[in-house]
Amino acid sequence: MATLDSKVPAGPLADKWRKHKADIKLVNPANKRKYEVIVVGAGLAGSSCAATLADLGYKVKCFVFHDSPRRAHSIAAQGGINAAKNYQNDGDSVYRLFYDTIKGGDYRSREANVHRLAEVSVNIIDQCAATGVPFAREYGGLLANRSFGGAQVSRTFYARGQTGQQLLLGAYSQLSRAVGAGTVELHTQSEMLDLVLVGGQAKGIITRDLVTGAIERHAGDAVVLATGGYGNVFNLSTYARGSNTTAIWRAYKRGACFANPCYTQIHPTCIPVSGDYQSKLTLMSESLRNDGRIWVPKRKEDCGKDPNAIAEGDRDYYLERMYPAFGNLCPRDIASRAAKRVCDEGRGVGPGGLGVYLDFSDAIRRLGENGVRERYGNLFDIYHEITAESAYQTPMRIFPAVHYTMGGLWVDYNLMSNIPGLFVLGEANFSDHGANRLGASALMQGLADGYFVIPYTIGDYLASQKPGSRPSADSVEFKGAEENVTAMTRRFLANQGREPVSHFHKRLGKIMWEFCGMARTREGLQKAVQQIPALREEFWANVRVPGSADTLNQSLEQAGRVADFLELGELMCRDALTREESCGGHFREEHQHPDGECKRDDANFGHVAAWEYQGPDKAPARNVEALNYEFVKMSVRNYK
Interacting residues of 357 by C-beta distance below 8 A, sequence separation 6+: 294, 295, 296, 307, 349, 395, 396, 397, 398
Of 104 and 455, nearer to other proteins (C-beta) is 455
**Cα 216–chain centre separation:** 28
- Alpha-carbon span 196 to 204, nearest angstrom: 5
> To the nearest whole angstrom, how small is the minimum distance from the Cβ of residue 426 to other proteins?
15
Query: Is residue 303 a contact partner of residue 349, using CB atoms and an 8 Å limit?
Result: yes
Could you give the angle at which helices 44-56 and 454-462 cross, rounded to 10 degrees? 60
> To the nearest whole angstrom, how small is the minimum distance from the Cβ of residue 598 to other proteins?
30
Of 475 and 555, nearer to other proteins (C-beta) is 555
Which DSSP symbol is given to 520?
A: B
> To the nearest whole angstrom, how small is the minimum distance from the Cβ of residue 129 to other proteins?
4
Q: Is 574 a catalytic residue?
A: no
> To the nearest whole angstrom, how small is the minimum distance from the Cβ of residue 133 to other proteins?
8
> To the nearest whole angstrom, how small is the minimum distance from the Cβ of residue 527 to other proteins?
27
Tell me the CA distances in angstroms from 608 to 154, 300, 434, one per residue in order.
31, 42, 9
> To the nearest whole angstrom, how small is the minimum distance from the Cβ of residue 369 to other proteins?
16
Of 410 and 504, nearer to other proteins (C-beta) is 504
> To the nearest whole angstrom, how small is the minimum distance from the Cβ of residue 88 to other proteins?
11
Which DSSP symbol is given to 451?
A: I
> To the nearest whole angstrom, how small is the minimum distance from the Cβ of residue 56 to other proteins?
9
Query: How many other CB atoms are there within 10 angstroms of residue 385's CB atom?
Result: 9
Query: How many other CB atoms are there within 10 angstroms of residue 59's CB atom?
Result: 18
Query: How many other CB atoms are there within 10 angstroms of residue 432's CB atom?
Result: 26
Of 9 and 547, nearer to other proteins (C-beta) is 547
Closest among 437, 572, 583 to 515, alpha carbons compared? 572
Could you give the angle at which helices 522-542 and 501-516 cross, rounded to 10 degrees? 170
Q: Which residues, in sequence order, are bridge partners of residue 592?
A: 598
Three-state DSSP state, 252: helix
Of 69 and 439, nearer to other proteins (C-beta) is 69
For the purposes of burial, counting CB atoms within 10 Å of the CB of 369, is it exposed (0-12), middle (13-18) or buried (19 or more)? middle
- Alpha-carbon span 235 to 281, nearest angstrom: 10
For the purposes of burial, counting CB atoms within 10 Å of the CB of 185, is it exposed (0-12), middle (13-18) or buried (19 or more)? middle
Query: Is residue 20 a contact partner of residue 9, using CB atoms and an 8 Å limit?
Result: yes
> To the nearest whole angstrom, how small is the minimum distance from the Cβ of residue 233 to other proteins?
17
Interacting residues of 129 by C-beta distance below 8 A, sequence separation 6+: 135, 143
Of 502 and 526, nearer to other proteins (C-beta) is 502
Of 126 and 601, nearer to other proteins (C-beta) is 126
Spatial strand order of the sheet with 184-187 comes to 184-187, 59-63, 36-40, 222-225, 422-424
Of 401 and 519, nearer to other proteins (C-beta) is 401
Of 25 and 498, nearer to other proteins (C-beta) is 498
Query: Is residue 584 a contact partner of residue 520, using CB atoms and an 8 Å limit?
Result: no
Of 472 and 502, nearer to other proteins (C-beta) is 502
- Alpha-carbon span 564 to 69, nearest angstrom: 23
Q: Both ends of the chain: CA-CA distance in Å?
A: 42
Q: Of the listed 332, 507, 520, 561, which one is catalytic?
A: 332
> To the nearest whole angstrom, how small is the minimum distance from the Cβ of residue 54 to other proteins?
10
The secondary element (H helix, E strand) that includes residue 117 is helix 111-130
Interacting residues of 551 by C-beta distance below 8 A, sequence separation 6+: 211, 212, 213
| Residue type (1 letter), 392 | Y
Catalytic residues: 332
